[in-house]
Amino acid sequence: MIVVHSKQELAEQIAEWRLHDEHVALVPTMGSLHAGHVALVDLAREHAERVVVSIFVNPTQFGDGEDFDDYPRTLERDKRLLKKTTADLIFAPDVKTMYPFGLEMATSVSVPRLTENFCGASRPGHFDGVTTVVARLFTLVLPDVAVFGQKDYQQQLVIRHMTEDLNFPIKIITGETVRADDGLALSSRNSYLSGEERAAAPVLYETLCSTGQELQNGRRNFAELEADALERLGNAGFEVDYYSIRRALNMEIPDRDCDDLVVLAAARLGATRLIDNIVVTT
């Protein structure tokens, strides 16, 4: 597996693959990789002969007071993990490589509306940082497909919108959330949880599943279902940021007869913010 840090090395390697008519898939990450990322690499490999994994802790998607400085940076460990997968290349640029004019002068890509609610409301500017860095990764790697995890449901919708709107000739694929045995969605931020918080954390997914079951059973009073969930999460020690039943297609408010729903949640356990969701087709 090749590891490159510069745009030049990346471009040379990709040009060589293109010369052999090989397709390229991109899995963008911020490192601190776990089994969820490995599943995205495996999925990427099903769609292309070559898989690039980018590892870059992107400063523009962290707000003031967020965990940019503390975010786990584990490049050596990540390399060892990816060596055991079908990834072909790691692109691990530094900030200067990704933002050559500096952060203040960086051209920004912004998707309106879709980024205003949910994680966009609690993390102002977050999605502008995500779309800005993903657009840069797209133009550097020029992949045929790019793979994102369903755990970040709003993120993958925003990226799909940007890709279509800016005519990037890239197919966006969403990979299922990978979970620990007790249901907790794998996330690099799970490492922040204390022992007690880790024990309580699976209640988030359990609550989503209960809501999903109620929807399958035909309950349609969304506000009541959301209120039940808030109570359950509050009792388990969560401070809920949002818990909402929405249309899966665009995260808008669903009609009672909508069949394709997503239940979205973000909640804090102590200082750790967890997000999760389930798609429910009734």
Q: Which of 14, 26, 28, 127 binds ligand PAF (CB under 6 A)?
A: 28
Query: Does 32 participate in binding ligand PAF (rule CB under 6 A)?
Result: no
Active site residues: 37
Q: State in angstroms the smallest separation of the CB of 28 from ligand PAF.
A: 4
Query: Does 29 participate in binding ligand PAF (rule CB under 6 A)?
Result: yes
Q: What residues between 104 and 133 interact with ligand PAF by CB under 6 A?
A: 130, 133
3-class DSSP string for the chain? CEEECCHHHHHHHHHHHHHCCCCEEEEEECCCCCHHHHHHHHHHHHHCCEEEEEECCCHHHCCCCCCCCCCCCCHHHHHHHHHCCCCCEEECCCHHHHCCCCCCCCCCCCCCCCCCCCHHHHCCCHHHHHHHHHHHHHHHHCCCEEEEECCCHHHHHHHHHHHHHCCCCCEEEEECCCECCCCCECCHHHHHCCHHHHHHCCHHHHHHHHHHHHHHCCCCCHHHHHHHHHHHHHHCCCEEEEEEEEECCCCCCCCCCCCEEEEEEEEEECCEEEEEEEEEEC
Q: What is the DSSP letter of 66?
A: S
Q: Which of 4, 14, 26, 30 binds ligand PAF (CB under 6 A)?
A: 30
CA dihedral 123, 127, 129, 135 (to 10 degrees): 170
Distance CA 208, CA 223 (A): 14
C-alpha closest to that of 40 among 89, 86, 91, 92: 86
Q: State in angstroms the smallest separation of the CB of 244 from ligand PAF.
A: 20
Residue whose CB is nearest to ligand PAF in the complex, by number: 28
Query: Does 134 participate in binding ligand PAF (rule CB under 6 A)?
Result: yes
Q: What residues between 242 and 271 interact with ligand PAF by CB under 6 A?
A: none
The one segment of 25-33, 70-78, 93-101, 218-226 that binds ligand PAF by CB under 6 A: 25-33
Report the residue number, 28 or 212, with the smaller CB distance to ligand PAF: 28
The two tokens of residue 14 are: 């990709």
Query: Does 163 participate in binding ligand PAF (rule CB under 6 A)?
Result: no
Query: Does 277 participate in binding ligand PAF (rule CB under 6 A)?
Result: no
Report the residue number, 53 or 215, with the smaller CB distance to ligand PAF: 53
Q: What residues between 39 and 98 interact with ligand PAF by CB under 6 A?
A: 58, 61
Give 245's strand partners: 263
Report the residue number, 30 or 204, with the smaller CB distance to ligand PAF: 30
The one segment of 23-31, 76-84, 163-171, 173-181 that binds ligand PAF by CB under 6 A: 23-31
Report the residue number, 140 or 225, with the smaller CB distance to ligand PAF: 140
Report the residue number, 88 or 128, with the smaller CB distance to ligand PAF: 128
Query: Does 274 participate in binding ligand PAF (rule CB under 6 A)?
Result: no
Q: State in angstroms the smallest separation of the CB of 31 from ligand PAF.
A: 9
Q: What residues between 141 and 160 interact with ligand PAF by CB under 6 A?
A: 152, 155
The two tokens of residue 70 are: 């503390």
Contact residues for ligand PAF, defined by CB under 6 A: 28-30, 58, 61, 130, 133-134, 152, 155
